[in-house]
């Protein structure tokens, strides 16, 4: 049971930061940015490049988050804001094009071979039959810690109040003196930084490769939709539910169906759990579990 909980927490931390960033930006710009998952891949490669340039891992991580956040803001200002004038559907298609361009760029620079961060090997922590590494503990702590800090930002600060006002009624927020462009750029930077952090943590526990962002696409969008697009804390809860479902599917023994033991669903089919949950959510709760007024594209 403890191993199951650990696996769920690890998987949740893998997708939570990216899903939360996607949802918080959607609440302002009102279109699903497909390229957002590639910010995670870009952040992981940026951290890798900076560490290989000689920077300590922590400094490299901060630099990668900052660079990715700036790129997210530039893309929003130069590309997505203009595409939104033609409608949210056009902006979504444009984000898919940006996603393909980012993948092609990384392929040309770093290649397709999986890479790892050059860090010393640490002894794993053993609790009975449960084994967890220090890197996995770091990933879990970063994921849940950053979501807690984001909750404080959203509900206890003036920036959070401005963001929620912009999300609910942009015209009224502007009339009361809220600088809409500044709020959107700030939140876009934050979402890009969170995605870079999530991608780096995923690369820390697994590998850094060009498919990192693409592999996150389905679970991240499933978590964001399940939690209610535009509801960042709902996206965090959605990530937890998706992780429970995926871990449960791959840990259940279906041998009773075939008259023998040790029959498990292959890990390669793990995305089927996300598909199933997403389909059920769209059928019965199309606006998500925690939001009744999601605007769909």
Q: Between 48 and 273, whose confidence is greater?
A: 48
Q: Among 35-44, 172-181, 187-196, 234-243, where is mean pLDDT lowest?
A: 172-181
- As a whole number, mean pLDDT of residues 234-257 equals 78
- As a whole number, mean pLDDT of residues 134-141 equals 87
Residue 85 confidence (pLDDT) above 70:
yes
| Average pLDDT along the chain | 84
pLDDT tier at 229 (50, 70, 90 boundaries)?
A: confident
Q: Between 1 and 214, whose confidence is greater?
A: 214
SS3 per residue for 71-139: HHHHHHHHHHHHHHHHCHHHHHHHHHHHHHHHHHHHHHHHCCCCECCCCCCCCCEEECCEEECHHHHHH
pTM above 0.85, yes or no: yes
Using a pLDDT cut of 90, give the percent of the chain over it. Answer: 34
Residues 6+ apart with CB under 8 A from 229: 23, 26, 27, 32, 288, 291, 294
pLDDT tier at 80 (50, 70, 90 boundaries)?
A: very high
pLDDT value, residue 157: 85
- As a whole number, mean pLDDT of residues 237-252 equals 81
pLDDT value, residue 295: 47
Q: What is d(CA 221, CA 234) in angstroms, rounded to the nearest whole number?
A: 12
**35-57: pLDDT as tens digits:** 999 999 999 999 999 999 989 99
Closest CA to 198 of 31, 22, 4: 22
Task: Give how far Cα 75 sits from Cα of 39, 98, 115, 117, Å.
Answer: 11, 9, 27, 28
- As a whole number, mean pLDDT of residues 124-135 equals 76
Closest CA to 193 of 67, 30, 98, 105: 67
pLDDT value, residue 259: 66
- As a whole number, mean pLDDT of residues 234-242 equals 88
- For residues 18 and 198, the answer to whether their CB atoms sit within 8 Å is yes
Q: Among 35-39, 45-49, 152-156, 288-292, where is mean pLDDT lowest?
A: 288-292
pLDDT value, residue 296: 43
């Amino acid at each position: 049971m403890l191993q199951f909980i650990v696996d769920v927490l690890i998987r949740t931390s893998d997708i939570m930061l990216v899903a939360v960033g996607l949802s918080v930006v959607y609440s302002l710009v009102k279109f699903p940015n497909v390229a957002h998952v590639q910010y995670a891949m870009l952040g992981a490669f940026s951290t890798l490049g900076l560490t290989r340039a000689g920077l300590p891992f922590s400094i490299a991580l901060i630099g990668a988050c900052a660079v990715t956040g700036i790129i997210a803001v530039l893309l929003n200002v130069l590309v997505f804001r203009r595409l939104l004038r033609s409608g949210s559907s056009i902006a979504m298609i444009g984000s898919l094009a940006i996603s393909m361009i980012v993948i092609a760029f990384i392929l040309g620079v770093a290649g397709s071979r999986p890479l790892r961060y050059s860090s010393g090997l640490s002894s794993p922590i053993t609790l009975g039959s449960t084994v967890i590494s220090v890197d996995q503990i770091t990933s879990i702590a970063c994921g849940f810690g950053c979501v807690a800090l984001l909750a404080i930002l959203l509900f206890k600060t003036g920036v959070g109040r401005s963001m929620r006002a912009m999300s609910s009624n942009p015209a009224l927020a502007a009339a009361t003196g809220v600088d809409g462009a500044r709020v959107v750029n700030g939140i876009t930077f934050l979402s890009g930084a969170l995605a870079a952090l999530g991608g780096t943590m995923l690369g820390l526990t697994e590998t850094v490769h060009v498919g990192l962002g693409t592999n996150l696409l389905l679970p991240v969008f499933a978590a964001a939709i399940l939690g209610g697009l535009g509801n960042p804390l709902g996206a965090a809860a959605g990530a937890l539910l998706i992780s429970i479902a995926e871990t449960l599917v791959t840990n259940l023994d279906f041998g009773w169906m075939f008259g023998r033991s040790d029959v498990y669903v292959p890990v390669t089919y793990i995305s089927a759990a996300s598909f199933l949950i997403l389909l059920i959510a769209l059928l019965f709760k199309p606006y998500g579990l925690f939001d009744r007024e999601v605007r769909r594209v």
